[in-house]
Structure 1
Amino acid sequence: MTYNHILVPVDDSDISSVATQHALNFAKVFGSRVTVMSVVAIDPFVGVDFYKVAPAVTHHIMEAETHAQAHLEKLKQLFIDQGIDADIKIIREEPTPTGILNIADEVNADLIIMGSHGRSGLKKFVLGSVAQKVASESSIPVLIIKR
């Protein structure tokens, strides 16, 4: 088995850094191309669009996107410095699992490597598990890196 294109969804967490390192190792072994991506969520209540978005919220979203872009550029360079072909993607205004799966389809990824925050109890009930949703809905292998 070989993996030609690895998708690596990331955020600012330590577990994302560990998942990125795993993706780097896989890409070296298999000679894979890598796409590193982030989802910039506007609001957990995305369907509630009848409220006007406050300027402070708009500013926060723009800052989050700028930060995500800088973070992804840094990770892209990490792969390039190791001789690995890499791209970056930012998804907006989609639930995180949907964004990840859509990008996997778009770039024709054949492996997703991502971290799991390991939420349990009430946090898992309220916030859900992105990794669990991606793994259960993906048509390609998903390697979930845990703490």
Structure 2
Amino acid sequence: MTTYKHLLVPVDESPMSYAAAEQALSLAKDLNCPVTIMSVIAVDPFVGVDFYKVAPAITDYFMQAEQNAQNRLAEIQQSFSREGISVDTKIIRGVAASEGIVQIANEIGADLIIMGSHGRTGVKKMMLGSVAQNVLTQSPVPVLIVKV
């Protein structure tokens, strides 16, 4: 069995992210390994819009997204710290979620990514894409998908 030495847990506001964080906490305790928890603040919602017409809305969106990500990461970080797990947090900005996750995994030398999946299928998956699917295909390290 492979012994993992550094876990990466990408999170957003979804319940699936929190379920993935719980799985990562359990695994990190068993393996006594450090964890990096991360969020991506992507530009996706604004691709193709006229910047000058919506600049205040974009600024507000990014400021709120940044604050939400910081709060979420701090909350999850506390739960890991309470259990004696070494934990770091990262926020990456301005890239697609899957690209940011793979980038951070490479940067920190993660050897396992644990993430939630919305479990979309069919047309919903086709129209909305799947961050988990993209990470699975792009990641050079194993990916554990947690579904609720």
The TM-score with structure 2 as length reference comes to 0.92
Compute the RMSD of aligned alpha carbons. 1.4
Residue in 1 that maps onto 2:127: 126
Looking at structure 2, the residues matched to 27 and 125 of structure 1 have their Cα atoms a distance apart, in angstroms, of 34
Looking at structure 1, the residues matched to 128 and 7 of structure 2 have their Cα atoms a distance apart, in angstroms, of 26
Looking at structure 1, the residues matched to 65 and 96 of structure 2 have their Cα atoms a distance apart, in angstroms, of 16
Question: How far does residue 112 in structure 1 lie from its aligned partner after superposition?
Answer: 0.3
Q: Is the 8 A contact 2:44 2:96 kept in 1?
A: no
Alignment of 1:1-147 (within 5 A): 1-46=2-47, 48=48, 51-52=51-52, 53-147=54-148
Q: Per the alignment, in what secondary structure is the counterpart of residue 106 of structure 1?
A: helix
Q: Identity over aligned residues, as a percent? A: 53
Which runs of 4 or more aligned residues in structure 1 lie more than 6 Å from their structure 2 counterparts after TM superposition?
none
Paired residue total:
146
The TM-score with structure 1 as length reference comes to 0.93
Task: Report which of the two has the higher share of helix.
Answer: 2
